[in-house]
Structure 1
Amino acid sequence: MAKSSADDAELRRACEHAIEGTKHKVVLSIRTVKTHGTWGKTAKLGRQMAKPRVLALCTKAKVQRTKAFLRVLKYSNGGVLEPAKLYKLKHLSKMEVATNDPSGCTFTLGFDNLRSQSVAPPQWTMRNVDDRNRLLFGILNICKDILGRLPKVVGIDVVEMALWAKENTPAVSTQNNQQDGTSVESTAAETELKVYVEKELVSQAEEEDMEALLGTYIMGIGEAEAFSERLKRELQALEAANVHAILESEPLIDEVLQGLEAASNCVEDMDEWLGMFNVKLRHMREDIESIETRNNKLEMQNVNNRTLIQELDKLLEQLSIPSEYSACLTGDSFDEAQMLQNMEACEWLTTAMRGLEVPNIDPTYAKMRAVKEKRGELQIIKSVFVGKASEYLRSYFASFVDFMLNDKNYFSQRGQLKRPDHADLRYKCRTYARLLKHLKILDKNCLGPLRKAYCSSLNLLLRREAREFANELRASAKTSKTPTVWEGFMGSGQNVNSADTAAVSEAYAKILTIFIPLLVDESSFFAHFMCFEVPSLVDGNKTGHNDQKNDDDLGIMDIDENDSKSGKNSVDFAALNESLQDLLDGIQEDFAAVVDWAHKIDPLCCISMHGTTERYLSGQKADAAGFVRILLGDLESRISMQFSRFVDEACHQIERSERNARQTGVLPYIPRFASLATRMEQYVAGQSRDLVDQAYTKFVSIMFVTLEKNAQTDPKYADIFLIENYAAFQNSLYDLANVVPTLAKFYHQASEAYEQACTRHISVIIYYQFERLFQFARKIEDLILNNVAPEEIPFQVGLSKADLRKTLKSSLSGVDKSIAAMYKKLHKNLTSEELLPSLWNKCKNDFLDKYETFVQLVARIYPAESVPSVAELRDLLASM
């Protein structure tokens, strides 16, 4: 058998060194492995989860008593033992061997002072059963000797522990420190091991009873046969005594039997009497049940008769038609004075018809002949009433609209714009709003013809009002009698009167201000008046019309407020939009006529009209005004189309200028575009920005493309042509580019093209006068790029020192005259005198930069040669 780690002296010394300074004395140290489990579920004994530990039993001597501890030590990274945990054995309550380990080497120690009892205590696995028994036996001895009590032991066989203790008695010992300081070693034997296990075979009380019982028979027993004979004799004596006692009690038994027989006779007599009484009671009970049954049937019949009478009274009340309601429903009077009685009759008819339906009436009654006949009679009355009311309303709508059409005071007249006023019409219609509500309940199919009749009549009125208003609006607009037609860029129509444009824009805004709210109100009124279930229109539909007094607000939503179902916003929008199309169709022609009229006077007024239309279009959010949104969308598209036509025509005129004779100087459409953009910005006013920006993009793109094409007709003067035109574009749009981002983008584009043209033109002039000088420098740069050493360049053909001197003499001998020639050439072909100073400065700076590069190359390649310095030429240029 392998040597136990408990006998390892080095392990004990390592443990003592680890707890040095704690005054603890190591009694037993042994190696183990720590694993984890959970309460109620055993953890897997995977070796990958095992952690090596050392358990040490320690004691600490005090003045009055000795304390016992269990220390857990772990190995550090360097393999040195260090304290990990400390347990006091006085709190040890249980030692339990794990049942899931077949070897029996795994156990747990339960302490009653742990803070968290929900966390499973660690499991300790020993190398073998001997190590386990040695550690547990040592703990039990210390608890017995020092603490005077033993913990509960679970899962350990008592016999096995006793045999192991007997065989290993010398190996298990404890040292107990007495008060006088002497150490007494006590050996544990089989009789000294008193371990209380959870499942004991015989309790202590039973054991004491068994000992007392055996003590009564231990006297006089020499051998088993004698003891058996003695027990037989005692048994025979007891049986004889029992028989004698029975014989002596025979007279008493006879008396008891006689009494039982007399009692039996009495019971039989009693049973006969009870049988007779039971027969009589059964007959009596049957008679009583018969009487109660007849009585209950009579009472039930009486109750049923009373209930039937009540139900018949209620049914007759439902079937009867009041005379006043019958007269209203079958009559022809729909005047305003009779409307209250008509509404009451409609409410009664609706209630009566609902009351005869199956959900509100018993299904048995619904099959009765009287109920069927009454239901048919009510259907006839409903059809008659709905037909007469519908016919009356159709004729009423047509007659009232005809009355308004025949009265000229309702429309605009010469010299007087008349705002449409439908207050009287709304007031008249409101009288019949509740009637329409009831007609929908009685027969929803009747509303279709009524809606068409209303739309047909009111459409005539609205179109007449819009036509008269638009005609008078155009006639009253203060414009020139013979307005000049706009001819775009190339024509003579640039002097369009701004007052005419403003008057036209105001006229368009006025017709929208008057009619868009009117059309929205008419759409909303129609939707509610004709019982379309739509949500209320928000006030946002009237944005921008605070100067109007809302004369048409008749509180349509309050007509039948109590009957409306809260939260019910479902609506057949297709049917509503179809009806609105019939109601307002054709009115868009008068708006389009105003747009075309305004475009003929001044196409730029399309900008302000587009902005006005956008503002009104953004305010239309309600579903009941769907046609109004369509109308505004069509107007916006028409205005955009008219303005796009103007822009396309102007762009076409710019393109046609390309086919003309060769242009010189600034093209005419560049300053004209600046004036056009200035006017367009006046009409934007924070709106229609996209429309104007698109026009700017189209204009400038065509202008720049045409400018480049015109420049290519004469390449000799192309750069001068581009310089003058790009400069004119920048000068004319400088102020607008600071406030318009789109123009700022084209301004920077023109600036870049201007700089490129200047660079090309100046380079041509400089190379024309100093071509030989800078050609010499370019040859040197090419050789350097081809990795030719600087000291080898003077030996190349054409680049010797003599060639350098010839080049300097030919190019710089009359440098003042050459510079003067550059100035004359720059001034010769330039038509814009204001550009000459800036171009001449660019020319001088570019020449000095090129010459400075030449001087640096000469100093690098020909260090012994002298050339005029850059400062000398700079002074010469400054003096000229």
Structure 2
Amino acid sequence: MTAIKHALQRDIFTPNDERLLSIVNVCKAGKKKKNCFLCATVTTERPVQVRVVKVKKSDKGDFYKRQMAWELRDLAEVDAKDASKENPEFDLHFEKVYRWVASSTAEKNSFISCIWKLNQRYLRKKVEFVNVSSQLLEESAPSGESQSVAGGDEDALDDYQELNAREEQDIEGMMEVCEYAISNAEAFAEKLSKELQVLDGANIHSIMASEKQVNILMQLLDEALSEVDTIEGKMSSYEEMLQSVKEQMDQISQSNRLIQISNTNNVKLLDEIQFLVNYMDLSKGHIRALQEGDLSSSKGIEACINASEALLQCMNVALRPGHEKVMAVKQQQHLFTELRDTFARRLTNHLNNVFVHQGHDQSSMLSQHMAELTLPKHSPLHRDLLRYAKLMEWLKNTQREKYEGLSRTYVDYMTRLYEREIKDFFEVAKIKMAGTAKEGKGNKFATLPRKESALKQETESLHGSSGKLTGSTSSLNKLAVQGSSSRRSQSSSLLDMGNMSASDLDVADRTKFDKIFEQVLSELEPLCLAEQDFISKFFKLQQHPTLVEVEESDGVVPSRQKDMVRLMMNKVFQSIETELNSLIALGDKIDSFHSLYMLVKMSHHVWTAENVDPASYLSTTLGNVLVTVKRNFDKCISGQIRQMEEVKISKKSKVGVLPFVAGFEEFAELAETIFRNAERRGDLDKAYVKLIRAVFMNVMPLYALQHFFEGVEARVAQGVREDEVSYQLAFNKQELRKVIKEYPGKEVKKGLDNLYKKVDKHLCEEESLLQVVWHSMQDEFIRQYKHFEGLIGRCYPGSGITMEFTIGDMLEYFSSIAQSH
């Protein structure tokens, strides 16, 4: 506790001119134990102020802080709780009652005792002490202290001095000489008074006897005063001298201040000059590179890049206030503007020349690709132009108009170049594709021959307005002559396939077509991706901006860059989609089953392009063309279904299986070969559903009823109760009535009659075989009818729904049909 008391005195009370007299460690009664210290203090200055101060440790616990203080004169009562027993609790009654619990009873008693003493000495209004032991309270104060408290004569108390040892010995000696000093104080005092008078007289006599010495002393004092006057005179002169020195020092100080201001201004001026020199000075080498640097060599291009970047930094430097008024700065800015404009013109003219020069070189290579189904590679042009990518970025940041003009020039030039290359490329592809429809011996797909001129006219019409290769007409005529005797049917069908076995199929043409179509897509894909990558890099239109670019631009600039890339690619390759659609139309016209190959190939390339970049021009274009291919595929399937519905069987063809059923089997084998592991397998499965339904629709009457009840049985198999099937939306009572309404007795009889005719056409002429088959079909229809009635009774109980014909009607239909034939 002593160490704490010392620390509190040093850190808290000494800085406030207070003395710490007593301390007690307490916490509030009835609450969580948060310890603090109550301190009794007095000020060191008069009038003395007595306080009770609450001190608490800081939250970090590394120092103490003063939290609250009360004046002792505001204390009304001290309650010690119990005077006879040790109890650490006590209350202090100020403006409100503060209840405390001391860490020990001894600290509490010591603190209360100190409060009592301070109250007795310094306060007129006495504090009431309740439940305090009398031993702690002093019953009376010393006389001097009492007088001090009563009369307030604190100065007299403070001036009192104790006797020293010699004075005590003298008084004791006098008291020993006078034996009555203690018994008769008055006589002793009178004796001392007489002796004091004798001593005073002797002192006066001694003083008068020393008059001569006094005169000498006075003379010395006069001399001293004279010397003082002399010294004062010298001091005055010294003061005058110092005054002049002060004035000179003031002048020197003023001069030093002006010198310091001048030095400060010089430093600031030097800093400004250094700033302008560092950030607005362009080296002679950079100026020479901008004015006459070689833009055709790698070394010259690098020098121009460094010079242009340095120029841009000088032009974009953030000038300080007032710099724009400096003439040298204006001149330098004018120089920078001239250099920028001069270099921008040189760069634009040079790049325009590069476009033209490279274009001539590229055009001279076209003849090498005429005989092959390949597209010219532009990587040399891209590689040469990419050396200027940083200069294009500089042009974009400094001369936006020239940058955009150069972009338009490049797009216009490349559009013409690519249009010529792509049309020539597709011309070769169409010639090779048309050559797949060659004459084949025993080819069951071959139909009526077409004239050479008709094939030529058809092929040229599919080419559109594209330019022709040199010699393409003669090549096309030669192919037309080769295929003039026999050409493939315009639309292969399941009926054709049903007339042959799988071994009779001539798949060579389709395989060749598949390779040609794959070659076309394989050539277009790297061409488009390479050009888009070049445009993005060369014109600084990155498809995937960095996170910093997105945050700085809030997403607006990256979106605009993507739009610019898309617009440039659409312009450069504006003929690709048209040529692809024309090629697809030609392939579909040669053989409608080519749409199966094209759907698989095109889907695969779309999927590949989307994995590389979903927003690329290639992905978008192939996706658009894929819609056309899918439409042709759907048209092919619809055509097969239509041919099934319109089939006419010759009476001479007496076979046991309908031709389109066998044809569907052949179609499935071909389709499975094409769609094996393909992404568009789902399209084939949907086509299967349509074709199979068409097969069944053209083989068996009551197909819709059968399909409906197959759905009902499927729901029951999935766990739906039979009496709850009617609550299914697709199988409610209304839907059942619609299906039953489609099969009135008249329509059923008509369907059975058509079925009898088909059976009669495809069976041998033995009458007994026809009767056996017809009777078996009758039994099957009756069994099916009963099955339907049972499902209606179980799944639609109480609905009153029945078929529009009965078993008796069905027997009558079968009998009358057999008799009529």
Q: Which has the higher contact order (CA 8 A, sep 6+)?
A: 2
TM-score by length of 2: 0.50
Task: With the length of structure 1 as denominator, give the TM-score of the two structures.
Answer: 0.47
